[in-house]
Structure 1
Amino acid sequence: MSVRGIRGAITVDVNEEQPILQATVELLNGIVAANSIVPEDIAYVFITVTGDLDDTFPARAIRQMSGWELVPLMCALEVPVKGSLEKCIRLMVLVNTDKSQKAIEHVYLGGAQTLRPDLTKS
C-alpha cells in the first residue's frame, strides 16, 4: 500500500458561506467516487482557497460529513499569482491505496477545469 495524492479543484460564483461549503462537498464527493475511497483510507486533506474566498472555512463542510470527523484537515491560502483563477477551492487528498499513480483520478469541476485540462474528464 502507498500514499497517493489526489488533486481536485472547483470554482464558486460568489464569496458566500453556503456556495463555498456546497462546492467543497461536491468536489470531495467527486474525488471519493472517482477513486472508490472511504474516509478511513484518508491520511489527510489539505485545502487551499484563493484570497477572494474568505466567508468561511471549507473544512467546515468536510467536518460535517458523516464518517469524516477524524480525518485531519488543514486550510490555507493559495499563492496569490497575478492573473490566476479566482474564487477557487483546491483539495489535495492524501490516501492510502493500492492504486498506481496512473490509476488515480483527479477531479476538476466548474471553472477549475481550465487548470488541468489534461486531467479533466469530459
Structure 2
Amino acid sequence: MAVRAIRGATQLEVDEREHLLERTRELVTQVLEANRLDRDALISIIFTLTADLRSEFPALAARELGLGDVPLLCTVEVDVPGALPRVVRLMAHAELDVPRSQVQHVYLRGAEVLRRDLAQ
C-alpha cells in the first residue's frame, strides 16, 4: 500500500468560528469521499490558514468528524500580497492503493482558482 498526499482547499466568506468549522468539515468530508477513504487509512492532516483567518483551529472540525486519533496540525500560510484571502488548505497523508495520478484533490467555494490542474 502506498502513502499518498491529498490536497484540498476552501474559501470562506468571513472569519467566523462556525463558518470556518462548517467549511472545514465540508472540505474534509469531500476529500474522504472523493478518495474512498476511511479513518484508518489516514496517516495525518496538515491544515494551513491564510493570515486573515483566526477564529478557530480547523483541526477542531476534523476532530468533530471523528478524526481525533489522526495526527492533525494547523499552521499559517505564507502571507503573499495579492493571494486569495480567507482560505483553509489541507494536505492529508493516507494509505491509498492507487497511482498518484488517480488521487482526487478537492478545491471548493472559490478555491478552485488555486489549482485548476488538480481541482475535482
TM-score strictly above 0.5: yes
Q: By how many angstroms is 1:120 displaced?
A: 2.1
- The correspondence of residues 32-47 of structure 1 with structure 2, limited to 5 A, is 32-47=32-47
Query: In angstroms, what is the RMSD of aligned CA positions?
Result: 0.7
Looking at structure 2, the residues matched to 120 and 3 of structure 1 have their Cα atoms a distance apart, in angstroms, of: 20
TM-score scaled to structure 2, two decimals?
0.97
For residues 81-110 of structure 1, the C-alpha deviation after alignment (integer angstroms, 9 at most, x for no partner) is 111010000000000111110110000001
Within the alignment, does 1:99 sit opposite 2:98 as a pair?
Answer: yes
Amino acid at match of 2:73: M
Looking at structure 2, the residues matched to 58 and 39 of structure 1 have their Cα atoms a distance apart, in angstroms, of: 17
For residues 48-83 of structure 1, the C-alpha deviation after alignment (integer angstroms, 9 at most, x for no partner) is 0000000111111111113x1200000000011111
Query: What does residue 4 of structure 2 align with?
Result: 4
Q: By how many angstroms is 1:117 displaced?
A: 1.2
For residues 33-58 of structure 1, the C-alpha deviation after alignment (integer angstroms, 9 at most, x for no partner) is 10000111011000000000001111
SS state of the match for residue 110, structure 2? helix
Query: What does residue 23 of structure 2 align with?
Result: 23
Which stretches in structure 1 are left out of the alignment for 5+ residues? none
Which stretches in structure 2 are left out of the alignment for 5+ residues? none
Looking at structure 1, the residues matched to 65 and 115 of structure 2 have their Cα atoms a distance apart, in angstroms, of: 27
Amino acid at match of 1:57: F
Query: What does residue 110 of structure 1 align with?
Result: 109
Q: By how many angstroms is 1:7 displaced?
A: 0.1
Q: How many residues align?
A: 120
- The correspondence of residues 13-92 of structure 1 with structure 2, limited to 5 A, is 13-66=13-66, 68-92=67-91
The percentage of counterpart residues that share the same residue type is 39
Looking at structure 1, the residues matched to 64 and 106 of structure 2 have their Cα atoms a distance apart, in angstroms, of: 21
Looking at structure 1, the residues matched to 97 and 80 of structure 2 have their Cα atoms a distance apart, in angstroms, of: 35
Structure 1's consecutive aligned runs of 4 or more residues displaced over 6 angstroms after TM superposition are none
SS state of the match for residue 7, structure 1? strand
